[in-house]
């Protein structure tokens, strides 16, 4: 049974453009995979604590030697990694915050990037363990940061996520960017008009598959 992991990170709820786009993607994926399963993870509402010394100590302790306290410390990380391992495909809804990703998504990354779980140095060089997966990143940004634009060098969201996913073994990555969301907030364009080309691109991606 194919499985999709749907990850949202916007704090804006129904007003979020990235959430609208992931919802559209999930709908298309379900149509294309009627027997499929969707795992939903909202990192903006999941309590994820920053990595600390106790967490680092726990993840580098052999499983058979973990104390009850250490098992509790790593429980959420184990759950999040389990979701990644179970899914065949991922879709990320990512609003650009200060030229990069939301802090909640970074906390999630810190929990799932674990040696011998999602990557390994067993051969002396890093090797991603999440192989055979596919990811789609749907980015919503206030400005336009596409390649070739004046603000392209300010885009740290797309390159960072590609790098992290690639390090973990996920190299089949598609990015669809909805830049210029600030035009909606400023009343220069209505929401539906803005969303239409991005929704069309998502729907077309399933027709082409």
Per-domain boundaries in the chain: 3-208
Task: Give pLDDT tens digits for 95-114.
Answer: 999 999 999 999 999 999 99
The string of DSSP codes covering 106-150 is HHHHHHH--BTTTEE-TTSS-EES-TT-EEEEEEEESS---TTST
Tokens of 44: 């903006």
Sign of the C-alpha dihedral computed for residues 105, 107, 112 and 115 taken in this order: positive
Predicted local confidence at residue 45, as pLDDT: 97
**In the predicted model, what is the mean pLDDT of residues 16-25?**
98
In the β-sheet with 172-179, what is the strand arrangement from edge to edge? Answer: 37-42, 3-8, 89-95, 134-141, 172-179
Task: Give pLDDT tens digits for 167-191.
Answer: 999 999 999 999 999 999 899 999 9
Residues of the chain above pLDDT 90, percent: 96
Tokens of 4: 């999709």
Predicted local confidence at residue 119, as pLDDT: 97
Predicted local confidence at residue 207, as pLDDT: 80
CATH superfamily of 3-208: Flavodoxin domain (3.40.50.360)
User: What's the start-to-end Cα distance of the chain, in Å?
Assistant: 18
For 39, phi and psi rounded to 5 degrees?
A: -100, 125
- Whether the Cβ atoms of residue 195 and residue 14 lie closer than 8 Å to each other: no
User: How far apart (Å, rounded) are the C-alpha atoms in residues 59 and 63?
Assistant: 9
**In the predicted model, what is the mean pLDDT of residues 23-27?**
98
* 152 alpha-carbon distance from chain centroid: 21
Q: What is the pLDDT confidence band of residue 209, given thresholds at 50, 70 and 90?
A: low
Give the helix/strand (H/E) hosting 35.
none
- Whether the Cβ atoms of residue 31 and residue 153 lie closer than 8 Å to each other: no
Residue 145 reports pLDDT greater than 80: yes
**In the predicted model, what is the mean pLDDT of residues 138-156?**
96
- Whether the Cβ atoms of residue 194 and residue 181 lie closer than 8 Å to each other: yes
Residue 204 reports pLDDT greater than 70: yes
Q: What is the pLDDT confidence band of residue 74, given thresholds at 50, 70 and 90?
A: very high
Residues near 206 by Cβ (< 8 Å), separated by ≥ 6? 28, 29, 31, 32
The rounded mean pLDDT for the chain is 96
């Amino acid at each position: 049974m194919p499985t999709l992991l749907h990850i949202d990170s916007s704090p804006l709820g129904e007003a979020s453009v990235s959430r609208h786009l992931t919802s559209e993607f999930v709908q298309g994926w379900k149509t294309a995979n009627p027997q499929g399963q969707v795992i939903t993870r909202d990192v903006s509402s999941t309590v994820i604590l920053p990595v600390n010394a106790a967490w680092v100590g726990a993840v580098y302790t052999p499983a058979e030697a973990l104390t009850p306290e250490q098992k509790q410390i790593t429980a959420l990380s184990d759950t999040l990694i389990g979701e990644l391992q179970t899914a065949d495909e991922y879709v990320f809804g990512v609003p650009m915050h200060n030229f990069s990703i939301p802090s909640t998504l970074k906390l999630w990354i810190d929990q799932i990037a674990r040696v011998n779980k999602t990557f390994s140095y067993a051969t002396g060089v890093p090797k991603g363990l999440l192989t055979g997966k596919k990811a789609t990143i749907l980015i919503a940004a206030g400005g336009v940061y596409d390649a070739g634009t004046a603000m392209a060098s300010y885009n740290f969201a797309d390159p960072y996520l590609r790098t992290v996913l690639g390090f973990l073994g996920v190299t089949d990555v598609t990015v669809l960017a909805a830049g210029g969301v600030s035009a909606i907030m400023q009343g220069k364009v209505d929401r539906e008009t803005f969303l239409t080309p991005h929704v069309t691109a998502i729907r077309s991606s399933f027709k082409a598959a």
